[in-house]
Amino acid sequence: MEDLSVIYNIKFSVDYAKTFLKWLVLAVIVGVTGGVVGSLFHICVDYATEYRNENVWLIYLLPLGGLIITAIYRVFKNKGKLDTNRVLEAATEEEKVPLVMAPLIFVSTVITHLLGGSAGREGAALQLGGSIGYNIGSLFRLNKNDTHTLIMSGMSAVFSALFGTPVTAAIFAIEVLRVGVMHYAALVPCVISAATAFYVADIFGIAPVRFECTPINITGIDIATKIIIIAIMCALVSILFCLTIKACEHYSERFIKNNYLRTFVGAEIIVLLTVILKTTDYNGAGMDIISSAIAGNAVPFAFLLKILFTAITITAGFRGGEIVPSFFIGSTFGCFIGGILGVDSGFTAAVGFVAVFCGVVNCPVASLILALEVFGSDNILIFALVSAISYMMSGYFGLYKSQKILYSKLCDEKIDISTK
């Protein structure tokens, strides 16, 4: 019997070693691929943004760019809906992610940023990474569950390369799919892919996103109460952001049936708003505005304008994603409300950055780690508090229709619903 037990333990150990080596090899392949693609994407988007800033007249070409994007996606309409929701479904179900999704989202996002659409790039990262992961899985003829894991690894890799937050990228990929359940079996490949992509991006000279954040003391009741109030208000702002996007989608599809006309009208509205406001602050991702807010400077109603610009841009059919706009919205709102409440505006901008992100993606653990990677660990308790509060108070709203909320945010109860 002892001999059988030893043999069983050896076999058990060999199986673990084989599985680890399998994921080590596959995750590195995905990480290198995602790192290269993500780095090139980052460089192209940055160049497009810089070129647009130097040539503000490009905003007038936004309608033309939108029509080109709509036409490109229409060519591949037989492939089904090609968006982030498709990737999330593929990571949990038997949905396919066609390889064509990667070049489509790459080119269309660059066009969006070049011509002044209000969108981010992390949503595009999920599509790029998901496409890479799925198709590498198909190449190696992996089974359904292993392919799901590789899709998450791909998402982690490109997210990490673009934003320079490898731990956040890994945790986000395993947390975003089903709220209340984390796919721990995918943790090793996701971490390896994210780390590999991070180092590949470093080779390309991609600087990670980091901000200076002044530590504050919340031992006093007054400051703690204000931080809690800000977190709750950020949760409400995240709901407003999600509802605005969904309302724009609903009413635009209801009143403008033709995709090309809907794109043209949406683009013209963005151009008109830009001309009326006499600023390009709300075009593109707005990383410079985020930096300014965290330095303590923000226009009071900038967050509302960014919500409007982003909702119209996404509804019109432009590409890029909503995550970086959520950083813009959160940081500018946090800066604004911090000034009203008498708390350091730069610090409350950082709080808003994290809290609104958490509210729109329903990922409190990834949000906390994002805060640590981007702002440092000095304020870990505050960031943990605001992530938890924003997660709870944002209800069952979210950016992604395919995101499932398995467990209630209010009690230990399984509910298994889609986000509103």
Joined together, the tokens standing for residue 3 give 């001999």
CA contacts within 13 A on the Cβ side of 217: 2
Contact, 331 vs 350, CB < 8 A?
yes
Helix (H) or strand (E) holding 252, with range, is helix 221-255
Cα–Cα distance for residue pair 126/391, rounded to 1 Å: 21
Q: For 169-195, how does the pLDDT look when each residue is reduced to its tens digit (9 = 90+)? A: 999 999 999 988 898 999 999 999 999
Joined together, the tokens standing for residue 81 give 């809906």
Q: For 382-417, how does the pLDDT look when each residue is reduced to its tens digit (9 = 90+)? A: 999 999 999 999 999 999 999 988 898 988 888 888
Choosing among 3.30.56.10, 2.30.30.40, 1.10.3080.10, 3.40.1160.10, the CATH entry for 2-203 is 1.10.3080.10
Domain regions of the chain by residue span: 2-203, 221-418
* DSSP codes, 338-361: HHHHTS-HHHHHHHHHHHHHHHHH
Cα–Cα distance for residue pair 165/188, rounded to 1 Å: 16
Helix (H) or strand (E) holding 390, with range, is helix 380-393
Q: For 109-163, how does the pLDDT look when each residue is reduced to its tens digit (9 = 90+)? A: 999 999 999 999 888 999 999 999 999 999 999 999 999 999 999 999 999 999 9
The three-class DSSP label of residue 388 is helix
Q: Give the pLDDT band of residue 50 (cuts 50, 70, 90).
A: very high
* Closest alpha carbon to 386 in 314, 324, 333: 333
pLDDT at 122: 84
DSSP 281: T
**More reliable by pLDDT, 21 or 16:** 21
2-203 and 221-418 in the same fold? yes
* DSSP codes, 162-196: HHS-HHHHHHHHHHSSEET---GGGHHHHHHHHHH
Beta bridge partner(s), residue 405: 179, 417
How much is the mean pLDDT over the chain? 93
**Which ranges in 278-344 belong to alpha helices (H)?**
287-294, 302-315, 323-341
| Backbone φ, ψ for residue 97 (5° rounding) | -120, 100
pLDDT at 38: 97
pLDDT at 81: 77
Q: For 64-101, how does the pLDDT look when each residue is reduced to its tens digit (9 = 90+)? A: 999 999 999 998 876 667 788 899 998 888 888 889 99
Radius of gyration of the chain (CA): 21
pLDDT at 2: 56
Beta bridge partner(s), residue 178: 404
Domain 221-418 matching CATH 1.10.3080.10: the answer reads yes
Q: Say how many Å lie between the first and final Cα of the chain, rounded.
A: 57
Cα–Cα distance for residue pair 420/401, rounded to 1 Å: 7
